[in-house]
């Protein structure tokens, strides 16, 4: 009897997940380039349709709140925009707790062009970047409900799993670059302190930028932030 009750409870917990997990072929697009080549992207309007189908129209059965937007720049002049949102859905007349989602998109990219026979890089501003980042954040939040789960969990493999180290697939997908290790005893420590001092962001944002440049422990990162007065 207890086993039957547990099965019924499990089925109830998966009721939404099972309704939104499968993605029709027409809503999927194969990624043809980059490190996710061969995997699939999902049409964002299909996610909107699925949320509406299960919970009701936007604003009545589900809605989002933008928690934070910010930009981050690279040393080469490119810039990305990021959005944090909370997704709320209504089930059995009760609103959910906030479901977190984060999205990002490149705002300014350096595009390669040729002028007078010379290769130059010209900044390109994507005026849809904020909209794309917001849409991406909805996708991430909806994923927690199981929306499109079969695409991300196909054959029990996701983009977050380690890639094979041998064979054809490994040859086609080069490994990510290894960041230099930084400690308080490294020769590059002084330049890292100077780089940190030059940043005008808050400590959290500076920490993210440092981790994009170096492999560093939490302890050394704390020291690095304190030396130029970025953290008390």
Written as tens digits, the pLDDT of the chain (232 aa) is: 555 555 555 578 888 999 999 888 888 887 666 666 656 778 999 999 999 999 999 999 999 999 999 999 888 788 999 999 999 999 999 999 999 999 999 999 888 777 777 777 778 888 899 999 999 999 999 999 999 888 877 654 444 455 555 444 444 444 445 678 888 888 888 888 888 888 888 888 888 888 888 888 988 888 888 888 888 7
pLDDT tens, residue by residue, 17-43: 999 998 888 888 876 666 666 567 789
Rounded to two decimals, what is the model's pTM? 0.59
Class of domain 2-172: alpha beta
- Angle between helix axes 203-213 and 218-226 (nearest 10 degrees) is 120
pLDDT score for 38? 59
pLDDT tens, residue by residue, 145-181: 999 888 877 654 444 455 555 444 444 444 445 678 8
User: How many angstroms separate the CA atoms of 88 and 97, rounded?
Assistant: 7
For CA atoms 36, 39, 45, 49, the dihedral sign is: negative
Retrieve residue 106's tokens.
Answer: 């490149």
Retrieve residue 224's tokens.
Answer: 């690095």
Q: What are the CB-based long-range contacts (under 8 Å, 24+) for 29-32? A: none
The residue length of the chain stands at 232
Any idea where the domains of the chain sit in the sequence? Answer: 2-172, 177-232
- Residues whose CB falls within 8 Å of the CB of residue 20, separated by 6 or more in sequence, listed in order: 50, 54, 142, 145, 146, 147, 148, 149
Q: What are the CB-based long-range contacts (under 8 Å, 24+) for 8-15? A: 14/146
């Amino acid at each position: 009897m207890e086993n039957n009750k547990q099965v019924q409870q499990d089925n109830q917990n998966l009721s939404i997940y099972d309704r939104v997990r499968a993605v029709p072929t027409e809503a999927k697009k194969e990624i043809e380039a980059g490190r996710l080549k061969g995997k699939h992207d999902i049409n964002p309007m299909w996610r909107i349709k699925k949320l509406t189908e299960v919970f009701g129209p936007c604003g009545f059965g589900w809605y989002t709140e933008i928690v934070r937007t910010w930009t981050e720049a690279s040393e080469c002049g490119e810039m990305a925009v990021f959005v944090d949102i909370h997704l709320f859905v209504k089930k059995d007349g009760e609103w959910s707790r906030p479901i977190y989602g984060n999205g990002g998109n490149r705002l300014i990219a350096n595009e390669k062009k040729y002028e007078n026979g010379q290769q130059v890089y010209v900044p390109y501003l994507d005026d849809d970047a904020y909209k794309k980042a917001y849409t991406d954040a909805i996708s991430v939040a909806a994923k927690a409900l199981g929306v499109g789960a079969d695409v991300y969990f196909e054959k029990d493999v996701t983009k977050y799993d380690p890639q094979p180290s041998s064979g054809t697939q490994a040859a086609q997908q080069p490994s990510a670059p290894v960041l230099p290790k930084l400690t308080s005893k490294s020769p590059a420590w002084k330049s890292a302190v100077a780089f940190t001092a030059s940043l005008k962001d808050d400590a959290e944002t500076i920490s993210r930028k440092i981790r994009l440049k170096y492999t560093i422990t939490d302890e050394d990162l704390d020291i690095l932030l304190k030396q130029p007065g970025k953290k008390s």
